[in-house]
């Protein structure tokens, strides 16, 4: 399981799992909404991760 240090990635995976389960059960609207939220959270996490790699380890 993911550590609680990374809540955005954790919630992105939760919404992704909800979208898959809702899609399998035939709830198209809920699956689409959960999938959209998961995509947004994942890309926000990805951008913040790349920015932290670039700017996070500056040594003077």
What is the pTM for the complete model shown? Answer: 0.54
Is 59 within a domain? no
2-60 confidence digits (pLDDT tens): 455 667 778 878 888 887 887 787 777 777 787 788 888 888 888 888 888 888 766 65
Tally of domains within the chain: 1
| Owning domain of residue 30 | 7-53
Distant-in-sequence, close-in-space partners of 22: CB < 8 Å, separation ≥ 6: 30, 31, 34
Intra-chain end-to-end CA distance of the chain, in Å: 36
Is 58 within a domain? no
């Amino acid at each position: 399981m993911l550590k609680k240090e990374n809540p955005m990635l954790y919630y992105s995976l939760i919404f992704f799992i909800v979208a898959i389960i809702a899609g399998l059960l035939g709830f198209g609207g809920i699956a689409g909404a959960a999938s959209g939220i998961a995509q947004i959270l994942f890309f926000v996490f990805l951008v913040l991760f790349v920015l932290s790699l670039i700017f996070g380890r500056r040594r003077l």
